[in-house]
Amino acid sequence: MSRKVSVVTPTYGRGHHMERLYRAFDAQTWPNKELVVLDDSPEPSPFMMTQTDPRVRYVHDPKRLSVGEKRNRLAELASGELLAHFDDDDYYGPRYLEKMAAYLETCELVKLSGWFAWSTTHRGLFYWDTAAAANFHLLVESNKPIRAYNIGNKTEQEKTQWVQTNLLGFGFSFAYTKALWQDSPFPEMQHGEDSVFVQQAVRDRREVGMFADREGLALVVRHAHDSSVVMPQYILPDFMLHRLFGEAIQPYIAG
């Protein structure tokens, strides 16, 4: 029997993404799974409130919490031995959990070191290898023109620190054992809780694994209202979207 994976999603004001989130979860090839969603929006999601799938647990609590607090509550609610983050607006391909669970046979936490991103405002597909620094990266911010970000003028120590910071962040792709979380829960922060969590695991000398997605396991989607910044090395042609992700990607890239 495969180990149970609890897909955990903190959400707020994203009721329109809930059906899509469920479909990505349901399509996963990993058989032993559940979806646990904690929603602190003022009103609950109509889709989730009428969901009858016994593998889904939806908790609506209008008391506002930090993302770190929500991640801890989700981990408490989860019944799986393994936990995997699904962000409510990103795409996760059918083999995503299968790949992450396979890595967790030999480590306690795994994340993507390289990943694809789509910007709805720039209508562009990008790839960021966070484990490496090029001379120039692209600074992709919502509602701002794309511009060059010069890494080449940094010292080697500054480059190493910059790479390390980005490599250990971006919790959209975290998967880990519940035992790891029990030993060191998330800090109660609104932003950056994911980076602190994995940095603590590294300091504690836990087994942390990383690998680059080169087949289209996931797609980070940046919308007009997103405040986070991505700094990829590569712009990819749009036709790669459907080659990598198939027709299932269409609702995610529409805007």
CATH number, domain with residue 194: 3.90.550.10
Contact call for residues 90 and 49 (beta carbons, < 8 A): no
Q: What is the spatial distance between Cα 55 and Cα 4, in angstroms, rounded to a whole number?
A: 11
Whether residue 210 contacts residue 131, with contact meaning beta carbons closer than 8 Å, is answered with yes
Measured CA to CA, the distance from residue 152 to residue 68 in angstroms comes to 34
Closest by alpha carbon to 225, among 89, 99, 93?
Answer: 89
Instruction: Report which DSSP code applies to 90.
Output: S
Boundaries of domain holding 119: 5-253
The model's pTM is 0.95
Hey, what are 53's tokens?
């799938």
Q: Which helix (H) or strand (E) holds 36?
A: strand 33-39
Name 205's Cβ contacts closer than 8 Å, sequence gap at least 6: none
Sign of CA dihedral 85, 140, 129, 26: positive
Please give the structure tokens belonging to residue 17.
């993404």
Q: So what's the pLDDT on residue 254?
A: 81
How many folded domains does the chain comprise? 1
Radius of gyration of the chain (CA): 18
Please give the C-alpha separations between residue 135 and each of 148, 212, 235, in angstroms, as whole numbers.
Answer: 10, 20, 15
Q: How far apart are the first and last CA of the chain?
A: 40
Q: What amino acid is encoded at 134 in this protein?
A: A
Helix, strand, or coil here: 131?
coil
How many whole angstroms separate alpha carbon 186 and alpha carbon 82?
Answer: 16
Instruction: Report how far residue 17's alpha carbon sits from residue 225's, in angstroms, rounded to the nearest whole number.
Output: 15
- Within 10 angstroms of residue 12's Cβ, the number of other Cβ atoms is 15
Residue 228 CA, chain-centre distance (Å), reads 13
Long-range contacts of 149-154 (CB under 8 A, 24+ apart): 149/231
Residues of the chain with pLDDT under 70: 255
Quote the pLDDT of residue 228. Answer: 81
